[in-house]
Chains A and B, each alone.
Chain A
Amino acid sequence: MTATPSPAASRGTEVRLTDLTRVYAGNVRALDGFTLHIAPGEFVALLGPSGCGKTTALRLLAGLEDADGGTIEVGGRDVTNVPTSKRDMGMVFQAYSLFPHMTARQNVEFGLQLRKQDKATRHGRAADMLDLVGLSKQADRYAHQMSGGQQQRVALARALAIEPQVLLLDEPLSALDAKVRSQLRDEIRRIQLEVGTTTLFVTHDQEEALAVADRVGVMNAGRLEQLASPAQLYKNPATPFVADFVGLTNRLHCRVAGGVAQVLGGAVPLLAGSAGDGLAIVLVRPEGVTIAPVGSGGSGGAGGAAATVVSASFLGASGKIVARLESSEGVGDLVSVQVDNTDVTAYAPGQRVLLAPRGDAALAVSAT
């Protein structure tokens, strides 16, 4: 497994989590043979549904939980049994982690104070960090005098101030509102590229994971299903779980023959790992389906499957049409189609349309 080296790779630390197991009371296997290798300076996002073990993996790396099995190596050193305070991890929690009786500056200086740095050094470093996160003017504010987004920036500055081996973020944006969330998300990425710290970012939001990370690890039931770049993950999902979890997909009944699925009156080439010949379900992305009004003669000429528009929505940069198939090809018979935002107005609920596959490669799974 080779990682795309990030620009700051030379400064980062390598992390190897090998075969980690964590069993909670009641025999809950939060991690079950979890293996992840993060290259120096790399930004990896752990993505998965709630309860799949993301937080547990992060907390094991931080030393806040003990592993029941497996090893943790940071920078070539086995830290499996090293206490949290000696691991040099920068941690950003979901919310409310700032010390309420300290100002932003005092929070950022806290770790440096514990490292016995002198006052001038501490002040300088704290000022730099607050500047990095764009909060120089708020240095003397207490947590309750700042917005949620500002508090998270201070938490980030505090974590980075100690020049940690690894930066760990556990759903740091999930308590913020949508606009601040995407702003801060991009800023976290900018800052990470600037400081070059190896980073593990946990989230259940696929859009967030795909937007920030060099590579995304998709987790399911305590294991890593696939670790790949956002583009690879989207185009080449290794398992049905990944295909389903990453991006919206349409599930359509099809007939597979010779690595090609016949669906919506067209052919879809199949990805490696797909089901063999016979009946199957193919997972087609909304942008993998074309739509045309009946009688326009569009849709690649070869006809397509007849459907009725249920809704047409404008989503800013793009548009989404949802249509109900007249045949029983669809599993649950609604199909989402992504269209250009200028085309949304061409469709209205009740209108008859023809759907056809665009021909992008997709994954097919056994119909049973």
Chain B
Amino acid sequence: MRPSGALVGVAPFFVYTTVFLLIPTIVVVVGAFADGSGRPTLDNVAALGGANSSFLPALQHSVVLSLVTALAGAVIGAVLAYAVSTARPDGLLKRFITSLCGVLAQFGGVALAFAFMATFSIQGFLTVWLNSLGLDTGSSIWLYQWDKGLMLVYLYFQIPLMLIVFLPAVEGIKPQWREATETLGGTTWTYWTKVAGPILLPSFIGATLLLFTNAFSAYATAAALISQASPIVPLQIAGTFTSEVILGQENVGKAMALAMVVVVALVMWVYAALDKRASRWLVR
């Protein structure tokens, strides 16, 4: 049988997913259950839950950090997306904001982390200036804590990302829907609760889950801001490759990565279930 022509077209896609998705996943899964010399073992996984292991708290921090910044980022980003959608469609302002958000969503975190340190840290100019005025600014430790400074910095890229991924959904809202609601006797409240809200909800939840995985896997921003401890999982994984204390235990890092894969898989499963419900009426 001749090879189907359709397969030729999707070949690059398969090569891409194999190289960047399949192979790393196999390396992680296999490595998580192997010791230094390649023999199968459960030690790596067991080490994660060990009494003096800092992995479980880090996993908890990662999940909470991702959840909070995903929810806050989604709500704020959605409101901003709506505001942007009401601007003139071809206007300069709108083009500027969407381009800016494109950049911020990718690089905003790291840049802001440095800006934060330059401003608020012990040697930061704001702190130094306030001190010179005789004002005690207190400790600037909050800046480096995962549930304060880090959360704030994460929002800096979560909000622009939400704006970008949610804007198409908001712009798909037809003005006729509001006008039809009004002529049928509905108020603004009716419109938002019975028409626009339900129509936007699947996209909103999908985008929120995307924000969750985005924060969950983010590394660079946290690495730029935090150098002393490893309060979240991506920093811990990096630690297993550089730390001398647990030398020879890189495969523990793979076990941690596997735990992350499991969390993300759970999120994708929730997303797929939701998507199935909405696809009854969604047009693709």
Expressed in whole angstroms, the Cα–Cα distance for A162 and B184 within the complex equals 7
Expressed in whole angstroms, the Cα–Cα distance for A159 and B180 within the complex equals 9
DSSP class of A's interface residues: helix, strand, loop or mixed? mixed
Contact B183 A114 (CB under 8 A): no
The total number of A-B Cβ pairs within 8 Å is 68
Near A by CB (< 8 A), chain B positions 193-220 give 194-195, 198-199
Contact A99 B182 (CB under 8 A): no
Expressed in whole angstroms, the Cα–Cα distance for A96 and B182 within the complex equals 16
Contact B185 A97 (CB under 8 A): no
Known: A85-B182, A100-B199, A101-B198. Contact between A114 and B281, CB under 8 A? no
The stretch from B32-40, B64-72, B115-123, B171-179 touching chain A is B171-179
Q: Which of B182, B187, B283 contacts A100 (CB 8 A)?
A: B283
Q: Which of B185, B187, B195, B282 contacts A99 (CB 8 A)?
A: B195
Task: Tell me the smallest distance from the CB of B98 to a CB of chain A, in Å.
Answer: 24
Asked if A84 is at the interface (CB within 8 A of a chain B CB), the reply is yes
Expressed in whole angstroms, the Cα–Cα distance for A168 and B199 within the complex equals 26
Near A by CB (< 8 A), chain B positions 92-107 give none
Asked if A144 is at the interface (CB within 8 A of a chain B CB), the reply is yes
Q: Which residue of B lies closest to A62 (CB)?
A: B183
Q: Which residue of A lies closest to B190 (CB)?
A: A114
Residue with the greatest number of chain A CB neighbours at <10 A, chosen from B179, B180, B280 = B180
Expressed in whole angstroms, the Cα–Cα distance for A110 and B181 within the complex equals 9
Expressed in whole angstroms, the Cα–Cα distance for A84 and B180 within the complex equals 10
Contact A93 B179 (CB under 8 A): yes
Task: Tell me the smallest distance from the CB of A366 to a CB of chain B, in Å.
Answer: 44
Known: A85-B185, A114-B185. Contact between A144 and B283, CB under 8 A? yes
Q: Which of A111, A142, A144, A168 contacts B184 (CB 8 A)?
A: A111
Q: Which residues of A contact B184 (CB under 8 A)?
A: 110-111, 114, 158, 162
Asked if A264 is at the interface (CB within 8 A of a chain B CB), the reply is no
Asked if B24 is at the interface (CB within 8 A of a chain A CB), the reply is no
Task: Tell me the smallest distance from the CB of B187 to a CB of chain A, in Å.
Answer: 6
Q: Report the interface size class on chain B.
A: 20 to 34
Q: Which residue of B lies closest to A91 (CB)?
A: B183
Contact B183 A96 (CB under 8 A): no
Q: Which of B174, B190, B281 contacts A96 (CB 8 A)?
A: B174
Asked if A64 is at the interface (CB within 8 A of a chain B CB), the reply is yes
Q: Which residues of B contact A100 (CB under 8 A)?
A: 199, 281-283
Q: Which residue of B lies closest to A83 (CB)?
A: B182
Asked if A77 is at the interface (CB within 8 A of a chain B CB), the reply is no
Near B by CB (< 8 A), chain A positions 74-131 give 83-91, 93, 96-97, 99-102, 110-111, 114-115
4 shortest interchain CB distances as A-B pairs: A111-B184, A97-B176, A144-B283, A84-B182
Contact B179 A64 (CB under 8 A): yes
Contact B180 A64 (CB under 8 A): no
Known: A100-B281, A142-B280. Contact between A93 and B187, CB under 8 A? no
Expressed in whole angstroms, the Cα–Cα distance for A114 and B179 within the complex equals 15
Task: Tell me the smallest distance from the CB of A110 to a CB of chain B, in Å.
Answer: 6
Q: Which residues of A contact B194 (CB under 8 A)?
A: 110
What are 6 A-B interface contacts by the 8 Å CB criterion?
Answer: A62-B183, A85-B182, A85-B185, A100-B283, A102-B281, A158-B180
Q: Which residue of A lies closest to B284 (CB)?
A: A144
Q: Which residues of B contact A91 (CB under 8 A)?
A: 179-180, 183
Known: A93-B176, A97-B174. Contact between A111 and B185, CB under 8 A? yes
Task: Tell me the smallest distance from the CB of B177 to a CB of chain A, in Å.
Answer: 6
Contact A89 B183 (CB under 8 A): yes
Q: Which residue of A lies closest to B183 (CB)?
A: A91
